[in-house]
């Protein structure tokens, strides 16, 4: 399973015709091209979006959807911002406009840097959420369903600061989107309250942990609430715990909403091309396949671009990023079908 860049390109372009079309010419709209399918041997391979596209949290949903369909991806972990942008949240619309929609991101960061502006935006958003209709959420979901892309997990930023009413809203919106779980970055000491709402709505919350999060931290979180769960990032796990995530996965398959698939080296090592690091991607995917666990294998694209000519940090062009993501998808497919 160790492929060169040239081998990866051959696999990606042979197995992912939509990605080929995206890279080498015009692409039809999501409504007119073939329905995507990235579920192989019973394992749904998905993506963390819009994160993987590096377009910012406030990217328009139709832009995200088109890129997923272009890559043949049929399941995602989706941030809530594009949904609330579609619903007409004043704060989301303002953030997207400030950042130059549909890319998003810059405006939100600028607001976050000003505590007063951040509080005002939060208050405005809280008020708006209490009167928001789920009809627009259902319309958003229909577009994605019609295109063949499942929204299995919805990620909510800043959820630990939500009021009780906003937490109910977050679960209701996520369920209306067809999601089976919410996700959030873990915040030690704050997961019990959120877990109580997860239990109330009978819907798991998968907490994402970086390299400092140990199995013991997740186990303590599981003990707080029945529906508290883990978004197990297998790359971070290897880099931070210096061991395989397989034993943890085997012990708690029912408490893992989805995994983040990336390849890293141990001892806080770098992100590398799939199949070249210390992360047992192939073993994990086959374990999920063979046990028929309902866990999305969510690709989180963090492979660094080669350095620039002057030695500074490089960056991917949109075409290069798309090609690299296609290679990651192809690697996962090959792992599952061999």
- Tell me if 117 sits within 8 A of 111, measured CB to CB: yes
* Plot region of 208 (φ>0 → left; ψ -120 to 50 → alpha; else → beta): beta
**C-alpha distances out from residue 259 to 232, 290, 293, 298, Å:** 5, 16, 12, 6
Cα angle 59-105-68, degrees, rounded to a multiple of 5: 30
Least confident window among 32-36, 79-83, 170-174, 198-202: 32-36
Section 15-31 average pLDDT: 42
Least confident window among 116-120, 186-190, 213-217, 241-245: 116-120
pLDDT at 150 over 70: yes
Question: What domains can you pick out in the chain, each with its CATH number?
Answer: 5-90+134-337 (3.20.20.150)
Task: Name every residue whose Cβ is closer than 8 Å to that of residue 329 and which is 6 or more positions away in sequence.
Answer: 12, 16, 19, 38, 45, 71, 72, 73, 299
pLDDT single digits (tens) 96-120: 998 774 443 333 444 456 788 888 8
pLDDT at 330 over 60: yes
The confidence score (pLDDT) of residue 100 equals 73
pLDDT single digits (tens) 277-304: 999 999 999 999 999 999 999 999 999 9
Section 313-334 average pLDDT: 97
- Tell me if 167 sits within 8 A of 156, measured CB to CB: no
Section 25-33 average pLDDT: 46
The confidence score (pLDDT) of residue 122 equals 86
- Tell me if 64 sits within 8 A of 52, measured CB to CB: no
Place 24 in a pLDDT band, splitting at 50, 70 and 90: very low
Measured between alpha carbons, how far apart are the two ends of the chain, in Å?
Answer: 10
pLDDT single digits (tens) 224-257: 999 999 999 999 999 999 999 999 999 999 999 9
| CA atoms of 287 and 111, how far apart (whole Å) | 43
- Tell me if 21 sits within 8 A of 326, measured CB to CB: no
**Is 0.75 surpassed by the pTM of this model?**
yes
Place 133 in a pLDDT band, splitting at 50, 70 and 90: very high
- Tell me if 158 sits within 8 A of 170, measured CB to CB: no
What rounded mean pLDDT belongs to the chain?
Answer: 89
The confidence score (pLDDT) of residue 121 equals 83
The H-or-E segment that residue 138 falls in is helix 135-147
């Amino acid at each position: 399973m160790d492929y060169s860049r040239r081998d990866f390109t051959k696999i990606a372009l042979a197995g992912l015709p939509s990605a080929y079309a995206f890279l080498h010419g015009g692409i039809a709209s999501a409504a007119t091209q073939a329905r995507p399918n990235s579920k192989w041997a019973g394992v749904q391979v998905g993506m963390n979006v819009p994160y993987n596209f590096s377009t910012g949290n406030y990217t328009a949903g139709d832009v995200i959807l088109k890129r997923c369909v272009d890559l043949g991806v049929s399941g995602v972990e989706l941030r809530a911002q594009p949904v609330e942008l579609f619903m007409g949240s004043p704060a989301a619309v303002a953030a997207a406009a400030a950042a130059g929609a549909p890319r998003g991101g810059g405006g939100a960061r600028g607001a976050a840097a000003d505590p007063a502006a951040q509080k005002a935006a939060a208050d405005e958003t809280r008020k708006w959420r209490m009167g928001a209709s789920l009809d627009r959420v259902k319309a958003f979901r229909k577009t994605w369903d019609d295109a063949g892309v499942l929204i299995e997990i919805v990620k909510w930023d800043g959820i630990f600061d939500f009021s009780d009413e906003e937490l109910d809203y977050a679960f209701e919106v996520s369920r209306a989107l067809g999601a089976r779980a919410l996700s959030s970055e873990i915040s030690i000491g704050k997961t019990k309250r959120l877990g109580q709402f997860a239990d109330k709505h009978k819907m798991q919350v998968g907490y994402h942990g970086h390299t400092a999060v140990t199995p013991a931290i997740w186990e303590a979180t599981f003990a707080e609430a029945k529906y508290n769960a883990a978004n197990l990032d297998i790359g971070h796990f290897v880099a931070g715990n210096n061991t395989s995530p397989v034993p943890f996965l085997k012990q708690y398959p029912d408490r893992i909403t989805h995994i983040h698939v990336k390849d890293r080296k141990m001892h806080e090592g770098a992100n590398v091309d799939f199949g070249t690091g210390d992360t047992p991607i192939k073993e994990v995917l086959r374990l999920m396949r063979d046990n028929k666990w309902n866990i999305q294998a969510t690709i989180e694209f963090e492979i660094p671009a080669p350095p620039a000519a002057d030695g500074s940090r490089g960056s991917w062009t949109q075409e290069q990023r798309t090609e690299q993501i296609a290679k990651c998808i192809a690697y996962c497919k090959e792992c599952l079908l061999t």
